[in-house]
Amino acid sequence: MAMAAAGDEAEMVEVTLRAVGPSRPTTLRLPPFISVADLRRHIAHDRHLPQDRLRLVLRGRNLPCQDDAHVNLRHGDSLIVAVAPKPPANHLRDGDGDDDDDEEEELKFKIPETTTWWKRKFFIFLRDKLRLPDILLMVLFSLGIKAWVLIAMWFLFAPIAQMYDVGPLFILGTGFLVILCNLGRRQQGDVSAYSIFNEDFRELPGTLNAERIDRDIRAGQF
């Protein structure tokens, strides 16, 4: 009986278990030829881990999860043991999908409810039939009648300017006109950052100029 027990003990191999995480490695004596299912069962019992979520890596290869798969172990082998995280609940997964759909729906360009029927029909035609991107639809429907008239006039006068060889001047004049039209109007009491545009050339508090630097040097503040 003692010889049989010694023979069984000699057939066992010592394997090092290294878990992913702060836990220390441990050793486990196992048969040299064992099924992956039995190996997972032994490790789950020894380390008190959930068997259904165990992932095992031996010699750089992920062991399969099939019950009929077998593996040859050698003395001194290292098994990397990891526990797969639990998947989220079904209602959470469905909720994430709904949130993504809601965010995508909010990012889409929509015309106001008070828009006229012909503009709404035109918008549906451009979006559904021509499949124009939302950024282009936003540009098209954000411009007013005055802007469209100016654009039409620009394209009308552009060939005439090219005919008289003043195309570059026409483009430069357009650029300056756009800048001037977008300068806006200063409200009563507003002060410009450029003192030349202010009454009595008044500067903003904290403005750094040559006069102030000279004054600070003379006062010994540098």
Q: Please state the rounded mean pLDDT for residues 188-199.
A: 71
Q: What are phi and psi of 79, to 5 degrees?
A: -110, 125
Per-residue pLDDT, 69: 80
Q: Are the C-beta atoms of residues 71 and 32 closer than 8 Å to each other? A: no
Q: Report the mean per-residue pLDDT for the chain.
A: 76
Q: Is residue 13 part of a domain?
A: yes
Q: How many domains does the chain have?
A: 3
Residue scoring higher pLDDT (198 or 42): 42
Site of tokens 């003043």: 166
The answer to whether residues 37 and 66 belong to one domain is yes
Based on the fold, state whether residues 16 and 77 are members of the same structural domain: yes
pLDDT of 90 strictly over 70: no
Q: And the tokens for 26?
A: 């441990």
Q: How confident is the model at residue 172 (pLDDT cuts 50, 70, 90)?
A: very high
pTM assigned to the model: 0.37
Report which listed range, 1-5, 24-28, 72-76, 169-173, is most confident. Answer: 169-173
Exposure on the CB side of residue 200, measured as CA atoms within 13 A: 2
Q: Read off the CATH number of the domain in which 11 is found.
A: 3.10.20.90
Are β-strands 70-72 and 33-35 bridged in parallel, bridged antiparallel, or unpaired?
A: antiparallel
Residue 147: the pLDDT is 80
- Strand, helix or coil at 189? coil
Other beta carbons within 10 Å of 17: 20
Sheet harboring 61-62: ordered strands across?
A: 26-30, 13-19, 78-83, 54-58, 61-62
Cα–Cα distance list, 180 to 173, 176, 201 (Å): 10, 6, 22
Q: Which domain holds residue 175?
A: 146-181
Of 46-55, 84-93, 95-104, where does mean pLDDT reach its minimum?
95-104
Give pLDDT, residue 2: 44
* 36 and 78 co-located in one domain: yes
Decide: helix, strand or coil at residue 108: coil
Q: Do 43 and 55 fall within a single domain?
A: yes
- Do 10 and 49 lie in one domain? The reply is yes
Residues 137 and 65 in one domain: no
Distances (CA, A) of 134 to 24, 42, 128, 182: 56, 58, 11, 25
Are 133 and 153 members of one domain?
A: no
The share of the chain scoring above pLDDT 70, in percent, equals 77
Stretch 18-35: mean pLDDT = 80
pLDDT digits (tens, 9 = 90+) for 6-21: 444 557 888 888 877 6
